[in-house]
Structure 1
Amino acid sequence: MLFYRALKPVLGWLFLSAVLGWGHSGVAAQMAMEHMDASESIQPVALNAHERQWILDNPKVTVASVQYPLYLFQDEHGHWSGLNTDVLKRISAMTGLQFEHQESFSTHHMLERLQSGAADISTTLAMSDDRKVFLDFSHAFGGAGWVFVGHANAPRVESFDQLAKRVVVLPARHALEDMIRRDFPSIEIRSVKTYAEARALVESGEAYATVENEIGAQLYPLGMLQVGGLVEGKWEADHLAVRKGMPELLSILNKALEAFPAAELRAIRLKWLEGISPTPVPSIWQRFIEWTCWGTGVIGAFAILSLVWNRRLAAVIKLRCEAQKELGDQLAFQHALIDSMPDPVFVRDLQGRLIICNRSYEEALSVRLDQMQGRLLIEVDAFPEATARMLHDEFVAQLQTRKSRFSKRQLLFNGGPREVYQWTVPFYSGDGKLRGLLGGWTDITQRRTESGCRCLQ
C-alpha cells in the first residue's frame, strides 16, 4: 500500500505525458494528411501564352548534374535522387516541364557545359559575380552557410584572417574564390577537382583548410578533420542556375517556386537533411520542456523497471535490433553511393590487401570482387605482373609515409596502355589510427574516346 501511494504521483505524470504525446501525434498526423492531400491535388502554375509555347517548343530541359549527396546523387539503380530531384519533380508536375539529367564530374565541368549550351540548368551551383556573366539564378528555395574545414590537430579556423600566408584548397571555380583573392590576397589558393580531393589534402597536411557548404561538411565522417566557424556574411542559397538567353524558362521556374507550398518544401528538406544540419540553440522554454520530459522519463523508467524487470531485457533487445538495422541501412547506402561512382574506387588495408571496391573497378580490371577480396594486387591477374608489382610497392611506400598521391600517368593494363589520373589517400579510424588506403583513377583515354576528342595523346 505504501509503495502504491508513492507511485501515484509518478503514474499521474506518466498519464499527463501520454496525453501530451497523443496530442502531438494528432497534430503530426493532421499535417501528414494535409501534405498527402496537397500532393494528390497539385495545381498547375498560371503561365502566359509565350511561356506555354516555350514549353511546347522545348519539352525537355537538360540538367547538368554533379553528384552531391544528399542534394543530388544516383541511387543503386542509376536513378537520380535527392532533395533537388524532389524539387524538380514537383516543378515538373506544376508546369509540364520534363527534366533530363546529364552527369558532370566536377563543378568546372558543369560550368563548361552550361557555358557551351550543352546543358540548360543546374541545381547545385552557388551564386557568384563571375557566374552571373553567363548564368541567371532563380528565386532561392533554401540554403546553408559556408564553413571552414581544417585539420583536427590544428587550431579551429574561425575566419579568413587566420589563413593569412597559408594554403587554402578549393575545387576549381569555387563560388568564393574571387572574393578570397580580392579581399585576402595573402592567402595562397590551390585548386583541385572535387571537395573529396580538397578534404584529403587538408587531412594530409598539404593544405591548411578548405571552405565547404555546412551540410556537406557534416555529411561525411570527419576523421582527422574538424569543422570550424561559419564564413561571416556569406550564405549559399539554393538556386536553380539557368544559362543566359532563356528568359522564358527562368520565368517559368520562378513562378513555380513562388507557388511551391511552403509546408511541402519544408517536408522535402526535412526528409533529406534532418539530422545533418547543425542543431539550433534551444530557447529557455524549450530547455525547460526538455528537462521536464527527461525528468518525467527518468521517473517513469525507474517505476517501470521496479515493477516489470523483464521489460528491460525486451527493450534492450529491440533497441539492439533497431541499431543493427540502422547500421545496415547506412552501410547499404554507403555501398550504393560508392557503386554509383563512374570511376574505379578501391580500399586496401595496411598490408595492401583489398577490402572493397566498386563496380567500375571490377569492370575496368575484368575481375570480380570475390576473386580479389583479401588478396594483394600481385596475387591476382588484374594487371600485368610488372604493373602490379610497381603499384603494390607504391602502396607499401605510401602507407609508410602517409602521404596522399595524385598523379597523371600512363599505366599498362591487361588490355593495353591507358592514360589515367590516379589518386590514393591514407584513411584513419575515429581514434586517429591509420587503417589503410583509399584510391582510384579516372581513365583519361576512355574519356577522350567517349567525347570524340582527336587531340594528340
Structure 2
Amino acid sequence: MLFYRGLKPALVCLVFFAVMGLVRGSVAAQLALHENADLPGVQPVELDARERQWIRDNPKVTVASVQYPLYLFQDEHGHWSGLNIDVLKRVTAMTGLRFEHHESFSTDQMLERLESGQADMSTTLAMSDERKVFLDFSHAFGGAGWVFVGRAGAPSVESLEQLATRVLVLPARHALEDVIRREYPSIQIRSVKTYAEARALVESGEAYATIENEIGAQLYPLGLLKVGALVEGKWEAEHLAVRKGMPELLSILNKALEAFPAAELRAIRLKWLEGISPAPSPSLWQRIIEWGCWAAVVAGMFGLLSLVWNRRLTVVIKQRRAAEKSLGDQLAFQHALIDSMPDPIFVRDLQGCLIMCNRSYEEALSVRLDQIQGRLLIEIDALPEATALMLHNEFMVQLRTRKSRFSKRYLQLKNGRREVYQWTVPFYSADGNLRGLLGGWTDITQRRTESGCRCQH
C-alpha cells in the first residue's frame, strides 16, 4: 500500500539509485575481468624514452610467485588470480608491461630465483634488511600486521618477550627472522619451508608459536591453533619487489602505483579482503541503496578532495625546486589513499598539534579539519576531558621515547564507551629527524555491530 500511495516519489528514487548502481556496476565489471588485462578507459602513465625502450626490449617480466590465498593463487582452471593479479592487470593497462608468473613452492625458493636472476620481481615479499641487499622495493600499496599463532590450549601469545627460551617456528628467510634473532636472542628460532609446516609443528607441540600475516592467519580452519595478538611495532607493507639492476622496471612500477586511483585500489582490496568473514546476502533493495549511498559518498569525497588538493598542490609546486617536482605526484597519491581509508587517521607534530587527518577522523569526532588544525587534543571540545588528557599525555611520552604503540583498549568518547584497536607510530624526515606521530584506530564495537563479525578475543 505504501508503494502505491507514494508511487511517483518512489519511482524517482528508483531511477536515481538505478543510475548510481549502473555506474558502480561498470567499475566492478572492470575489476572482475579475469583474462583481459587491457582495461577500457584506463589512462596510460607518462613514461620517458628510456623506460619505453626498456619495455620494448623486455616484452615479458618474469614474476616469481608463491601461492598465498586472496593475494595470489591459482584457481580451478590453473589461472593466476587474487588481489595482486588485479593490481598487475591495472599496471599492464597503464604501462604496457606484460607479466609471466613462474610458481615457487616456498619463500626461500622464490628468493633464490630472484638472487640468481631467474625471476625479475615478486608481489608477495615483505621488506627486510636482508632482502634489500639484492632487491629494490616499490611504493607501498597497502599492508597488514603480523600476528602470533599458537596452540589453542596454551596461553595466548601477546608479545615476543613471552617467547623467551621457547621455540618459534618460521618459514626460511622470513621477513622478521633477522630482527627477532638480533633483538630477542633468547628465542629459539626453527626454520621450515612453508607456513603449512610451521602450523603443523605448532599443532604437534614441537614449537610454541609461529608468526603470520593477519589476513592469511584467518583463512585456514584454526583446529588446534588460535590467533594471538599483533606483533607490536611490526607492519607488513605491500610492495612490488624488483631484483637489483633493473632501475627502469622499478621506475615504471612506481609511476603506475602513483597514478593508481585510490578509490579503485580500495575497491580491489575490498573485493578480495572484505569477504574473509561470511555475511548474510543482502536483498535487492539493500543492494540498490548501498550502490546509491556509496556512489554519492565517493562522488562527494572526490569532489571536495579535488578542490582542496588542487589549491594546495598549486602553492606547493611554486615553492618547490624543479628537482623536487616528482614528489608532488607521490604525495597526492598517498594523501588520496589515506583519505579513502575507512578508519580514522591523524598526523601530529612534535608538540602534539594536529597537522592533518582524514575524513573518517573528522566524522568520528564530529569536527572539521579547519577547526582543529594546529591545535592540541586537549584544546578542542571533541572528546571527554579525561580521555583527551590521557591521549595527549601518551602522545608526549611516545615523542620522548620514540616507541610505537599498538593496543586494544576501551575509550570513553562523547557518543559512549567504545572498544578500539589504537595505533600510533613516530615518523621521520628523509634525513632521519623525528617529525611527529602518525596514528589512528579501528572501532571494533562499530565493526562488530555493522558486520556481525565473529572475531577471536
User: TM range, normalised to the smaller chain?
Assistant: 0.5 to 0.7
Could you say which structure has the larger radius of gyration?
1
Distance 1:224 1:176 in 2: 24
| Counterpart residue type for residue 61 of structure 2 | V
What is the CA–CA distance in structure 2 between the aligned matches of 1:119 and 1:289, rounded to whole Å? 41
Post-superposition CA distance 1:388-428 (Å, at most 9, x none): xxxxxxxxxxxxxxxxxxxxxxxxxxxxxxxxxxxxxxxxx
Q: Find the aligned partners of 1:19 and 1:292 in 2 and give their Cα distance.
A: 29
Q: Any unmatched runs of 5+ in structure 2? A: 6-10, 32-38, 280-341, 345-363, 365-414, 417-442, 453-457
Q: How does 1:198-237 map onto structure 2 within 5 Å?
A: 198-237=198-237
One-letter code aligned to 2:24: M
CA distance in 1, matches of 2:179, 2:22: 47
Deviation at 1:291, TM superposition (A): 7.5
Call closer, same or farther: CA 1:290–1:254 in 2, change over 3 Å.
Answer: closer
Instruction: Determine if contact 1:62/1:120 at 8 Å carries over to the other structure.
Output: yes
For the residue of structure 1 that corresponds to 2:275, the secondary structure is: coil
- What secondary structure sits across from 1:158 in the alignment? coil
2:193 equivalent in structure 1: 193
Cα gap change, 1:245 to 1:288, in 2 (>3 Å): closer
What residue in structure 2 maps to residue 32 of structure 1? 25
In structure 2, relative to structure 1, the CA distance for the partners of 1:155 and 1:288 (3 Å cut) is closer
Q: 1:34 to 1:206 in 2, by over 3 A?
A: closer
The amino acid across from 1:272 in the alignment is: W
Supply the AA of the counterpart residue of 1:65. Answer: S
User: What residue ranges of structure 1 are gaps of 5+ in the alignment?
Assistant: 13-17, 295-457
1:32 to partner: Cα distance: 3.5
**Deviation string, structure 1 residues 305-328 (Cα, Å, up to 9, x no partner):** xxxxxxxxxxxxxxxxxxxxxxxx
Deviation at 1:79, TM superposition (A): 1.1
Which residue of structure 2 aligns with residue 119 of structure 1? 119
Q: Report the equivalent of 2:371.
A: none
1:29-428 counterparts in 2 under 5 A? 29-33=22-26, 39-276=39-276
Q: 1:135 to 1:281 in 2, by over 3 A?
A: closer
Contact 1:167 1:207 in 2 (8 A): yes
- Structure 1 moving runs of 4+ over 2 Å: 18-40, 275-294
Offset of 1:171 from its aligned partner?
A: 0.1
State the one-letter code of the partner of 1:32: G
Number of residues paired by the alignment?
Answer: 283
Q: 1:291 to 1:136 in 2, by over 3 A?
A: closer
SS at the partner of 2:129? coil
Change (3 A) 1:22 1:211: farther
Q: Deviations over 1:13-51 (max 9, x none)?
A: xxxxx9999988875554334566895201111000000
Name the counterpart of 2:385: none
C-alpha distance in structure 2 between counterparts of 1:178 and 1:67, whole Å: 24
Per-residue Cα deviation, 1:140-166 (whole angstroms, up to 9, x for no partner): 111110000000000111100110000
State how far apart, in whole Å, the 2-side matches of 1:116 and 1:21 are. Answer: 59
Identity among equivalent positions (%) equals 74
- The 3 A distance-change label for structure 1 pair 76 and 290 is closer
Amino acid of the structure 2 residue aligned with 1:127? M
Report the AA paired with residue 52 of structure 1. R
User: How far, CA to CA, are the matches of 1:278 and 1:228 in structure 2?
Assistant: 21
Q: Match for 2:125: what amino acid?
A: L
TM-score by length of 2: 0.56
Residue deviations 1:195-241, cap 9 Å, x none? 00000110111100000000110011101111000111111011000
1:31 is aligned with what amino acid?
R
How far apart in 2 are the matches of 1:172 and 1:142? 24
The one-letter amino acid paired with 2:145 is G
CA distance 1:290–1:243, shift in 2 (3 Å): closer
> Structure 1's 278 and 160: CA in aligned 2 closer, same or farther, altered over 3 A?
farther
Whether the 8 Å contact between 1:94 and 1:256 is mirrored in structure 2 is yes
| Distance in 2 (alpha carbons) for counterparts of 1:277 and 1:241 | 30
Q: Distance in 1 between matches of 2:186 and 2:14?
A: 56
**Match for 1:96: what amino acid?**
G
Distance 1:194 1:250, change over 3 A: same
SS in 2 for 1:197: helix
Name the SS for the 2:147 alignment partner.
strand
Q: What letter corresponds to residue 182 of structure 2 in structure 1? A: R
| Native 8 Å contact 1:35 1:263 kept in 2 | no
For the structure 1 residues 277 and 19, does the alpha-carbon distance in structure 2 shift closer, same or farther, using more than 3 Å as the test?
farther
| Structure 1 residues 221 and 112: alpha-carbon distance in aligned structure 2, compared to 1, 3 A threshold | same
Residues 206, 82 of structure 1: CA spacing in aligned structure 2 closer, same or farther, 3 A cutoff? same
Report the TM-score, using the length of structure 1 for normalisation.
0.56
Work out the CA distance in 2 between the residues paired with 1:88 and 1:121.
12
State how far apart, in whole Å, the 1-side matches of 2:82 and 2:257 are.
18
Match of 2:409 in 1: none
Quick one: structure 1 residues 182 and 25, their matched pair in 2 at CA, closer, same or farther if it must change by over 3 Å?
Answer: farther
Q: Are 1:35 and 1:264, in contact at CA under 8 Å, matched by a contact in 2? A: no
Q: Is the 8 A contact 1:215 1:277 kept in 2?
A: no
How far, CA to CA, are the matches of 2:62 and 2:184 in structure 1?
A: 37
Aligned to 1:348: none
In structure 2, how many angstroms separate the alpha carbons of the residues matched to 1:231 and 1:95?
A: 37
Please report how far the alpha carbon of residue 179 of structure 1 lies from its aligned counterpart in structure 2 after TM superposition.
0.5
Residue 215 of structure 2: SS of its match in structure 1?
Answer: helix
Find the aligned partners of 2:224 and 2:59 in 1 and give their Cα distance: 48
State the distance in 2 between where 1:239 and 1:132 align.
Answer: 12
Q: Secondary structure at the match of 1:170?
A: strand
In the superposition, relative to structure 1, how do residues 225 and 251 fare at CA in structure 2: closer, same or farther (>3 Å)?
Answer: same
Which SS does the other structure have where 1:40 is aligned? coil
User: Quick one: structure 1 residues 159 and 48, their matched pair in 2 at CA, closer, same or farther if it must change by over 3 Å?
Assistant: same
The structural deviation recorded for 1:70 is 1.2
Local SS of the residue matching 1:90:
helix
Residue 347 of structure 2 is matched in structure 1 by none
Question: Residues 173 and 46 from structure 1, CA distance in 2 versus in 1: closer, same or farther, beyond 3 angstroms?
Answer: same
Task: Call closer, same or farther: CA 1:21–1:236 in 2, change over 3 Å.
Answer: farther
Aligned alpha-carbon RMSD (Å): 3.6
Give the distance between the partners of 1:292 and 1:246, measured in 2 at CA.
46
